[in-house]
Homo-oligomer: A and B are copies of this chain.
Amino acid sequence: MNSYKLVSREYKEQDTIIEINSAGKPVFIGEGYCTIIAGPCAVESREAYIELACFLKSAGVHILRGGLFKPRTSPYSFKGLGEQGVSIMAEVRKITGLPVISEIMDIRDLDKLYDDIDILQIGSRNMQNFTLLEELGKIDKPVLLKRGLSATIEEWLLAAEYILNGGNSKIILCERGIRTFEPYTRNTVDIGAVPIIKNLSHLPIIVDPSHATGKWKMVAPVARAALAAGADGIMVEVHQDPDKALSDGKQSLTPQNFVTMYEQLTKIAGIAEKKMQY
């Protein structure tokens, strides 16, 4: 008997497919679909974000990411535009018709984000912020739950159980690398987590190769691996000028590199019997 229940394959055999409704066509995440989420680590300015978002839409991206409230290891680092960036994301969502995703760190920010953000992300450091999990269990809004830096598969599923137990079943799991002894990469992506989750749970799982590796050169190979292993999509960081990014520039793809990767991913998705949406 597992310690988790509602998230398990035993409890619900059929794959959960999440429908994201925004201004444009609905986007689906789950078995059978390959969903690409892309955008900058942090929203830095209105102009740059609109420009990048329009490019990403034209390049086939399904959901736009953008950090507003950034958890930073040091209190002296850039922490994102916060509340003032919400309207930028709302505008971009209207212009492109694409759903947007952003991280929520503090439940007191829920009202600011609720209307304009289509998917709320729980970051690695908050995977066991049980207060946040319980509150997001009460709302009717998709939640992307990143795996904690040193969370076991079981702890991760139990964190999802908190949300599902509250009544919200729209949960997307996101593998983003775990902490190991290896110093060459920021984290070690646990590619095996993809088939394990598919086996143990009915929830969709995507992979974030940008945070997992911390190096842009590794993003495309790891993204391809993720889809080949059965992931339902990937989330990557793209920046017009990575060297000038206010955070995580080293792991951001240029638009050109993104396009090259997208072509490869389309082919892998085909083999994995997943279809890229519209």
Contact = CB atoms under 8 A, between A and B. Distances in A.
Interface size class, chain A: 35 or more
Given A4-B74, A221-B229, A152 B182 contact: yes
A87 interface: no
A180 interface: yes
A128 B130 contact: no
Contacts of A179: 150, 181
Interface in A216-248: 217-218, 221-222, 224-230
This chain: how many copies in the complex?
4
A162 B79 CA distance: 13
Given A73-B128, A155-B73, A268-B268, A224 B218 contact: no
Contacts of A3: 73-74, 76
A178 interface: yes
A161 B3 CA distance: 36
Contacts of A268: 228, 268, 271
Given A150-B181, A152-B181, A178-B188, 11 more contacts: A129-B129, A149-B150, A153-B184, A178-B180, A183-B183, A184-B196, A185-B196, A188-B190, A189-B192, A194-B225, A195-B217
A264 interface: yes
Contacts of A108: 108, 131
A42 interface: no
Interface of A: 3-4, 71-76, 105-106, 108, 125-126, 128-131, 134, 149-150, 152-155, 158, 161-162, 165, 178-185, 188-192, 194-196, 199, 212-213, 217-218, 221-222, 224-230, 264, 267-268, 271
Contacts of A188: 178, 180, 188, 190, 192
A148 B158 CA distance: 19
19 contacts: A3-B73, A3-B76, A74-B158, A74-B161, A108-B108, A150-B150, A178-B188, A180-B188, A180-B190, A181-B181, A184-B196, A185-B192, A188-B188, A192-B212, A192-B221, A194-B221, A195-B217, A195-B222, A221-B229
A110 B64 CA distance: 36
A229 B226 CA distance: 9
Nearest to A214: B192
A267 B190 CA distance: 23
